[in-house]
Structure 1
Amino acid sequence: MNRPLIRTLLVDDEMLARLAIRQALAAHDDVAIVGECANAGEARQAIEALEPDLLFLDIRMPGMDGFKLLHGMKRGNLPMVVFATAYGQHALRAFDANAIDYVLKPIDQERFDQAMARVRRHWHGLQVTSAVSSTTAPAPAASPYLQRLSVQQGEHIRVVAANDIDWIRADGNYVHIHAGTATYLHRESLRHLLGVLDPGRFLRIHRGIAVNVERIREVHPLFQGSAEVVLQDGTRLSLSRRFRAQARRALGMA
């Protein structure tokens, strides 16, 4: 049974600081980064739209600091919070704000891992409490896969529903997400993204291409075991020989 991922949002006005947290989180395979925000206004919208479990939050940001962001939100809607900041003098105030932990920049991996251990203990406690407190018929299990993801679009964050994605193309440590007439550049490897998207919906058809199976209209066999996938909008994508058997099973092909 798949364990639930800790859906995490990064909030920091410095891109390099967000990158440092991403790198520190790479050692924790039970975490899925669902978005990044450069200010508190974007973070408020992303929290409401994405409902993350964990927030890595900077304190000093332009416009509104991290404390004011938390103060302005309903307590019941808040995710777990770890403050990540260069200013150690705010530690007591951070814990008064019910933060799980407080880590200083530059990020020290050992100290960061200790913070994640605290997050994990709290997370597991929330899961147990939720299970024990349920006295009615069990509700359908929440999907362990991402239902939405946030992508940077200029100075703004765009929330894209997973169901709206047509296909994805790898580009090094980035991916190009095609959704309708829009294409978004997202800082995530295809391998990691496919690890958090529903494998029943997203099918890898090439080393660098994955497609939403609901968008596939036709499959055209070609030479030497390769094939071509045609989407509902007419987009043609290569189905490599390596992934053909997997595609046949997913698409019910004889």
Structure 2
Amino acid sequence: MNAPAIRTLLIDDEVLARLAIRQALASHADVEIVGECGNAIEAQQAIRALEPDLLFLDIRMPGMDGFKLLHSLKPDTLPMVVFATAFGQHALRAFDANALDYVLKPIDQERFDQAMVRVRQHWRGLQAVPRVAAPAPVANPYLQRLSVQQGEHIRVIPVADIDWFRADGNYVHIRVGAASYLHRESLRHLLGTLDPTRFLRIHRGIVVNVERIREVHPLFQGNAEVVLQDGTRLNLSRRFRAQARGVLGMA
């Protein structure tokens, strides 16, 4: 008996990106595209209504990103997932979210076909074992590791090891002990991926790991100074003082 078609949903805010995936899937006769969505809210509704077997999912979308979309789904109804994105630095986090594969835009057909091999291998396993026997684990919605370019190499940094971040235009400087790394991502976007119970924004351009904070020194006009375990001193602006009180248990 032939295996059932892999019912597939495309989720990307760019029409041309969805078209590129359609074209890449054209040579895969066992795939049935059941719908397209331009954002995560549409995708939530489509997943409930269509119950697809496979998602091709973008990461950066207006509003809710691809990782938060997955976290919003019930683990026992989570489809197979292949991320399709222009940003290679999220690859490790994608696999943490139980994605089968991660393909970069613009789509390379050979690399895409390799991803489909993984999809079919997993699909055959699902057909052999009832889904209820092995529910997918809940995906962690927050960043666990960060990849930064160092010359010809990529350095993987556990997020828990990071002391603080400082904005620099569309980049951030990452401080880990005495080391500093430059990462190509805006602080605004990065902040949305960090656990708010672990990382605190204390200034328009500074986010600090709360586990590294040793002392807070009040200054004039509602401002303050944060002192880290290694003696680093950072400004806590009045704008973020109320949030700091809640996170740090300040009076």
Would the TM-score normalized by the shorter structure come out above 0.5?
yes
Q: Say whether the 8 Å CA contact 2:93–2:145 is kept in structure 1.
A: no
Unaligned runs of 5+ in 2: 1-11, 13-57, 68-84, 118-122
Structure 2 CA distance for partners of 1:146 and 1:223, relative to 1, 3 Å? same
Structure 2 CA distance for partners of 1:161 and 1:134, relative to 1, 3 Å? farther
Q: Say whether the 8 Å CA contact 1:206–1:243 is kept in structure 2.
A: yes
Equivalent residue number for residue 197 of structure 2: 200
Equivalent residue number for residue 52 of structure 1: 94
Report the AA paired with residue 101 of structure 2.
Answer: P
RMSD: 3.9
Report the AA paired with residue 30 of structure 1.
Answer: D
| TM-score, normalised with respect to structure 2 | 0.56
Equivalent residue number for residue 103 of structure 2: 81
Distance, in Å, in 2 between the alignment partners of 1:94 and 1:141 is 28
> Secondary structure in 1 aligned to 2:195?
coil
Structure 2 CA distance for partners of 1:159 and 1:253, relative to 1, 3 Å? same
Is 1:251 matched up with 2:232?
Answer: no
Structure 2 CA distance for partners of 1:80 and 1:151, relative to 1, 3 Å? closer
Distance, in Å, in 2 between the alignment partners of 1:166 and 1:34 is 28
| Counterpart among 65, 83, 107 of residue 30 in structure 1 | 65
Is 1:145 matched up with 2:142?
Answer: yes
Q: Please state how far the C-alpha of 1:26 moved relative to its aligned partner.
A: 4.8
Query: How high is the sequence identity, in percent, across the aligned residues?
Result: 63
Q: Say whether the 8 Å CA contact 2:172–2:185 is kept in structure 1.
A: yes
Equivalent residue number for residue 217 of structure 1: 214
Give deviations 1:218-244, integer Å, cap 9, x for gaps. Answer: 000000000000000000000000000
Distance, in Å, in 1 between the alignment partners of 2:132 and 2:93 is 21
Deviates more, 1:141-150 or 1:240-249: 141-150
Q: Please state how far the C-alpha of 1:36 moved relative to its aligned partner.
A: 3.5
> Secondary structure in 2 aligned to 1:200?
coil
Distance, in Å, in 2 between the alignment partners of 1:169 and 1:229 is 14
> Secondary structure in 2 aligned to 1:253?
coil
> Secondary structure in 1 aligned to 2:239?
helix
Distance, in Å, in 2 between the alignment partners of 1:234 and 1:94 is 48
Equivalent residue number for residue 226 of structure 2: 229
| TM-score, normalised with respect to structure 1 | 0.56
Distance, in Å, in 1 between the alignment partners of 2:164 and 2:59 is 26
Equivalent residue number for residue 240 of structure 1: 237
Aligned residues: 169
Q: Say whether the 8 Å CA contact 2:163–2:177 is kept in structure 1.
A: yes
Q: Please state how far the C-alpha of 1:99 moved relative to its aligned partner.
A: 4.0
1 or 2 for the larger relative contact order (CA 8 Å, sep ≥6)? 1
